[in-house]
Amino acid sequence: MAHLPAEGAVNGDVELLSAAARGDRAAFERFVERHEFAVWRVIKTLEVDVARAEDALQETFLAAWRSAAGFRGDESARAWLLSIARHAVYRQHRKRSGEPAEMGSLVELGRAAGLGAEPTTDPMNTFEQRDEILRAFESLSAADREAIVLRDVAELSAEEAARIAGTSVPAHKSRLHRARLKFAAFVRGVDHVA
């Protein structure tokens, strides 16, 4: 059996994937254990249907097993896995009809989100608001949800998130800003801009 690096080793993922590429299932299982929760959290956020999310999770790690030899460590293993997961979700995901139309200008979005308004009770801190928060998130387009998930949930850098989303960094930052404003507007009860 190949020597496995310590949990905190800088190149641990590269070494685990290298061992997996040579057929070491124990190394791959350790790699899966290390990243499964983060990948599941992102997949579940992008795909609300549990069965499809579970399929995407299995497809993600199967694809990672098959392409372990191709991982060079130029990016984080998490970013690499999330890119695979994103593709798995979108392969299964049919375009939903009735996605909300794009809101207007940034000024309109900012007003709807409450920028410049008197502060109110933070709905994120109120347990009773949980369902409203989930509805607000689900009201976003798939691209907007993805932008928020990659940066705010997966905590990827702007560069990693943009690469996974297939956009430039400025385009990703713009998408993220608009998505956050739309989310805040919905939470405030403004679901459209006049």
The pLDDT value given to residue 102? 47
Whole-number pLDDT of residue 4: 44
**What is the pLDDT, as a whole number, of residue 30?**
92
Residues 6+ apart with CB under 8 A from 57: 36, 39, 40, 43, 85, 88
What pTM was estimated for this model as a whole? 0.56
Q: Of 57, 92, 127, which residue is a domain's last?
A: 92
| Amino acid in the structure at residue 1 | M
Contact 40/89 with Cβ under 8 angstroms? no
pLDDT at 67 over 60: yes
Is residue 13 a contact partner of residue 73, using CB atoms and an 8 Å limit?
yes
Position 78: which residue type?
R
Q: Where in the sequence is the domain holding 68, given as residue range(s)? A: 12-92
| 31: pLDDT strictly greater than 90 | yes
Least confident of 2-16, 24-38, 97-111: 97-111
100 is a domain residue:
no
116 and 87, same structural domain?
no
Residue keyed to tokens 């290390």:
34
Residue 52 has pLDDT above 80, yes or no: yes
Domain boundary among 92, 120, 149: 92
Structural domain tally of the chain? 2
